[in-house]
């Protein structure tokens, strides 16, 4: 089947291999950004459907929380095995629904496999701690317990990886999951749900541990407002986060937010420019600029800015933009016409501020109805209002600096705080940057995108403060209890209090 074959047939085949039969119709039209093909029509879930799903998950929690964590890990191990088996099917669906080039799509599925490995090990490492008690014959300790149903709201750009970060860890922590995927990418969600349900059957896990609910923002609101959802993990825009956080807080629920990023890299005079150009180009142009960790600002020392811009511009000219299924393509489509309009508006505003587009920024003609653009490289006279905003498209603004304090101040002077990097061979510069970057992720001599699952992923400021995936992010999915055990025959009170 060649690159221009019926994409609907390819989607149905990949879904079928994952155990999903496409329904005959529904109100949700799923179209591919590759060429505008309608891949499927799916029924939407009503408020009543969502209520039922949450109810099933809440009942499953009553059983699942009592299953020993290492036994819960067997479910995630089996899911990881099925993801390996269906890696190419899921990657195909990611390319069809998001437009990622196949290597990026396969990398996203590999991330799912990796986080399953991480979570299986974690199932034997949900450690509490024992602390010295001030009272003789007493033991003081902390223990961690399952939290409850987790509601996951995910974005289109990583349709399966972010779900797996949440779900693999939630399951080993003892929590069922109700997942609202982006309306743009429901097919990948159905495939993942089918594989997880198969894994649950294979290991004898309780029914109702996982549910997919399809719909618009009202479905997400149902998860946000329902007191049976103990944790809402939401990935999306800052605007969405401003709506979600106070509503969850109003019912004293928990939030884990992964919101906008306006990521920057500083390039110093000592930087290895070969390495720098490679890191910058992938971070800025990968996934057509539609990653939360996409590099959007490049802060370059004035003495080397002309050289750096020339080299990146040359690299941009060699990027092949087109159908992601075609050999040699590195930049696929934007997700929608609306994304292009936002990009065009940002470029117009940048020009009005004195910015100059030195490479890219044009619409690219590709067969079909996909929206394709060449990544834009824009030299700016300063960090104007448009530069401080996140435009979810491939625009890289170039700024200059004279000393590192100035560069770090420019870097931090945006509302978002997700990912950051510095390119330098000077150890002092590297350490100074790592201590002063206000982002959740700070790198040296690599770009801003491409995080591994072993480190906690997330950001500060308007990025929301959430942490997913590695390190001790599991604590967000559990509740902590402080326990005091008296094994003596006396009853001394803390702080020496006398009573009676």
Write out the residue range of the structural domain in which residue 128 sits.
7-259+464-481
- Give the phi and the psi of residue 254 in degrees, each rounded to 5: -105, 150
The model's confidence at residue 2, banded by pLDDT at 50, 70 and 90, is very low
* DSSP classification of residue 324: T
Is 494 domain-assigned?
no
Q: Which two tokens stand for residue 275?
A: 């390495």
378 Cβ neighbours under 8 A, 6+ residues apart: 347, 350, 355, 356, 357, 358, 361, 395, 396, 397, 398
**CA–CA dist 295, 298 (Å, integer):** 8
Q: Which two tokens stand for residue 54?
A: 């949450």
39 Cβ neighbours under 8 A, 6+ residues apart: 7, 8, 11, 30, 31, 32, 96, 97, 187
Pairing of β 416-417 and β 356-359: unpaired
Sheet (strand 254-258) strand order? 210-212, 177-180, 149-153, 229-235, 254-258
**CA–CA dist 395, 449 (Å, integer):** 15
Quick check: 4 pLDDT over 50?
no
Is the domain of 182 the same as that of 319? Answer: no
Measure Cα distances from 390 to 32, 110, 246, 279 in Å: 24, 27, 23, 20
With beta carbons less than 8 A apart as the criterion, state whether 263 and 294 touch. yes
258 is catalytic: yes
Helix (H) or strand (E) holding 41: strand 38-42
Is the domain of 291 the same as that of 435? Answer: yes
Residue 451 region, left (φ>0) first, then alpha (ψ -120 to 50), else beta? Answer: beta
Greatest CA separation for the chain: 87
Q: Which two tokens stand for residue 239?
A: 């605007």
Is the domain of 436 the same as that of 341? Answer: yes
Is the domain of 250 the same as that of 306? Answer: no
Is the domain of 340 the same as that of 427? Answer: yes
Mean pLDDT of 26-43: 96
Is the domain of 131 the same as that of 254? Answer: yes
Is 302 domain-assigned?
yes
Q: Above pLDDT 90, what percent of the chain?
A: 97
Q: 3-class DSSP state for residue 261?
A: coil
The model's confidence at residue 5, banded by pLDDT at 50, 70 and 90, is low
Q: What confidence tens digit (pLDDT) does each residue in 166-200 have? A: 999 999 999 999 999 999 999 999 999 999 999 99
Q: Which two tokens stand for residue 10?
A: 């390819």
Residue 191: give its domain's CATH number. 3.40.605.10
Is the domain of 38 the same as that of 185? Answer: yes
Residue 319: give its domain's CATH number. 3.40.309.10
Task: Pick the closest to residue 287 from 330, 252, 244 (CA basis).
Answer: 330
Average pLDDT, the chain: 96
Query: How far separated are the first and last CA of the chain, in Å rounded?
Result: 85
Is 487 domain-assigned?
no
The sign of the CA dihedral 268, 271, 277, 279 is negative
Candidates 258, 390, 429, 468; catalytic one: 258
Is the domain of 289 the same as that of 249? Answer: no
Mean pLDDT of 352-364: 97
Is 190 domain-assigned?
yes
Total structural domains in the chain? 2
pTM for this entry: 0.96
With beta carbons less than 8 A apart as the criterion, state whether 26 and 41 touch. yes
Is the domain of 248 the same as that of 348? Answer: no
Mean pLDDT of 33-41: 96
498 Cβ neighbours under 8 A, 6+ residues apart: none
With beta carbons less than 8 A apart as the criterion, state whether 131 and 81 touch. no
Task: Pick the closest to residue 408 from 385, 387, 427, 429 (CA basis).
Answer: 429
**CA–CA dist 82, 79 (Å, integer):** 5
Per-residue model confidence (pLDDT) at position 167: 98
Q: What confidence tens digit (pLDDT) does each residue in 440-452 have? A: 999 999 999 988 9
Is the domain of 178 the same as that of 195? Answer: yes
Is 214 domain-assigned?
yes
Per-residue model confidence (pLDDT) at position 1: 41
Is the domain of 167 the same as that of 49? Answer: yes
With beta carbons less than 8 A apart as the criterion, state whether 359 and 312 touch. yes
Is the domain of 373 the same as that of 476? Answer: no
Angle (deg, nearest 10), helices 161-173 and 102-122: 10
Place of tokens 């979810």: 392
Place of tokens 């029914």: 207
Task: Pick the closest to residue 102 from 116, 89, 83 (CA basis).
Answer: 89
Burial of residue 401 (CB within 10 Å: 0-12, 13-18, 19+) is buried
Q: What confidence tens digit (pLDDT) does each residue in 290-303 have? A: 999 999 999 999 99
The model's confidence at residue 367, banded by pLDDT at 50, 70 and 90, is confident
């Amino acid at each position: 089947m060649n690159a221009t074959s019926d994409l609907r047939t390819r989607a149905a085949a990949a879904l079928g291999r994952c155990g999903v039969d496409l329904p005959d119709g529904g109100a949700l039209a799923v179209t591919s950004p590759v060429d505008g093909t309608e891949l499927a029509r799916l029924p939407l879930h009503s408020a009543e459907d969502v209520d039922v799903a949450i109810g099933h998950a809440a009942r499953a929690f009553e059983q699942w929380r009592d299953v020993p964590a290492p036994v819960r890990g067997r479910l995630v191990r089996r899911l990881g095995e099925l993801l390996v088996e269906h890696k190419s099917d899921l990657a195909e669906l990611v390319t069809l629904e998001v437009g990622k080039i196949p290597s990026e799509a396969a990398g996203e599925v590999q991330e799912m496999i990796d986080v399953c490995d991480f979570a299986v090990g974690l199932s034997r490492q949900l450690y509490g701690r024992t602390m010295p008690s001030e009272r003789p014959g007493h033991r003081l300790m902390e223990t961690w317990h399952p939290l409850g149903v987790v509601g996951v709201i995910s974005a289109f750009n990583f349709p399966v990886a972010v779900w797996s970060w949440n779900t693999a860890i939630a399951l080993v922590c003892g929590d069922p999951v109700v997942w609202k995927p982006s309306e743009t990418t429901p097919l990948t969600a159905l495939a993942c749900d089918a594989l997880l349900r198969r894994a649950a059957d294979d290991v004898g896990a309780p029914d109702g541990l996982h549910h997919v609910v399809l719909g618009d923002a009202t479905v997400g609101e149902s998860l946000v407002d329902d007191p049976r959802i103990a944790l809402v993990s939401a990935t999306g825009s800052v605007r969405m986060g401003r709506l979600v956080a106070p509503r969850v807080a109003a019912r004293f629920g928990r939030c884990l937010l992964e919101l906008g990023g306006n990521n920057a890299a500083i390039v110093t005079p000592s930087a290895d420019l070969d390495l720098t150009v490679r890191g910058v180009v992938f971070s800025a142009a990968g996934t057509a600029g539609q990653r939360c960790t996409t590099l959007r600002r490049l802060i370059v020392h004035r003495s080397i800015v002309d050289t750096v811009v020339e080299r990146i511009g040359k690299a941009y000219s060699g990027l092949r933009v087109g159908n992601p299924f075609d050999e040699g393509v590195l930049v696929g489509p934007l997700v929608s016409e609306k994304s292009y309009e936002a990009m065009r508006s940002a470029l117009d505003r940048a020009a009005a501020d004195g910015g100059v587009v030195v490479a890219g920024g044009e619409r690219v003609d590709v067969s079909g109805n996909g929206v394709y653009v060449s990544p834009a490289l824009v030299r700016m006279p300063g960090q104007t209002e448009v530069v401080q905003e996140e435009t979810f498209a491939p625009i890289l603004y170039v700024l200059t600096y004279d000393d590192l304090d100035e560069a770090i101040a420019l870097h931090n002077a945006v509302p978002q705080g997700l990912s950051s990097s510095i390119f330098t061979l000077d150890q002092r510069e590297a350490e100074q940057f790592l201590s002063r970057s206000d982002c959740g992720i700070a790198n040296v001599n690599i770009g801003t995108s491409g995080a591994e699952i072993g480190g906690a992923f997330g950001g500060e400021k308007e990025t929301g403060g959430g942490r997913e995936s590695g390190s001790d992010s599991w604590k967000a999915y559990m509740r902590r209890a402080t326990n005091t055990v008296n094994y003596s025959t006396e009853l001394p009170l803390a702080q020496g209090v006398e009573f009676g």
